[in-house]
Amino acid sequence: MTSISAVLPAFNEEELIGATAEAMAETLASLSDDYEVIVVNDGSRDRTREVVDALSATNSHVRCVSHAINRGYGDALKTGFSAAAKDLIFFTDGDRQFDVSEISRFIPEIDQADMVIGYRSPRRDPAIRLVYAWGWRLLVTILFGYTARDIDCAFKLFRKAVWQRVQVHSGVATFSAEFLVKARRCGFRIVELPVRHLPRTAGRPTGGNPRVILRAFRDIIKLRLRLDPCPQNIGAGPEHSKVNPVDHGHSRVS
């Protein structure tokens, strides 16, 4: 039976997070009896926590983990992944720019892979953000080789054993790049699939903030200079015995 934790990072998403978490729970319930939805409230100043708590009161599969202050996207994901109790971990954003039901296409692929990651097709963002994304992907490819078609796509499914082995230090915009670079470095098998990307209907994105962009470029250079070797698969617990990474040198992109 599929055992899966879904992680939804949220910062000031009171208008959307309830519907997103509810849709996520309904989708997972149709796929497995062994699931949980973890909303990481990253120091929101609105009613994000209250909205999720109200949903938790009616659905025991949904729970909220909160940061007292806003710590950033990467730290929110770290908190959620570390809190996950199931064999598989899935994450997407709380802003409803993805159709969470598409996870049903990802789960069968995980039988032959360690990570199944999405790429937005097409990407529904302003032109300037598309330019930023193109430059970011180019830089990461120059520094580390091919990493992913859409590095920061917030629609990824992976085995818990991957997170337990890969050590990610970035807590901000470089999180996804570091996670994927190190997963490939450890030889984990990656499959890429297209996912629909929907226009944002509420809330404010932060990825186009110039300060966030400058910090991301700084941090990716630091990562290149201080890239850790893949940690040995020693004493990692029983989950790791289910995954035997093999470096195929490429990933399948559908």
pLDDT digits (tens, 9 = 90+) for 27-40: 999 999 999 999 99
pLDDT higher than 50, residue 125:
yes
Among the ranges given (23-32, 200-209, 226-235), the one the predictor scored with the smallest mean pLDDT:
200-209
**CA distances for 163 relative to 38, 97, 199, 238, angstroms:** 16, 24, 30, 14
CATH T-level assignment (fold) for domain 3-253: Spore Coat Polysaccharide Biosynthesis Protein SpsA; Chain A (3.90.550)
Torsion of CA 135, 136, 139, 143, to 10 degrees: -170
Residue 173: pLDDT band (50, 70, 90) is confident
Torsion of CA 215, 221, 224, 225, to 10 degrees: -110
In this prediction, residue 205 carries a pLDDT of 55
Strand order in the sheet with 252-253: 62-67, 34-42, 3-10, 88-92, 155-159, 115-120, 190-195, 252-253
β-bridge mates for residue 91, sequence order: 7, 156
Structure confidence by residue, pLDDT tens digits, 57-92: 999 999 999 999 999 889 999 999 999 999 999 999
Domain boundaries, the chain: 3-253
- Could you give the residue ranges of the DSSP H alpha helices within 59-206? 73-83, 103-106, 127-144, 160-165, 175-185
Residue 242: pLDDT band (50, 70, 90) is very low
156/20 Cα distance (integer angstroms): 16
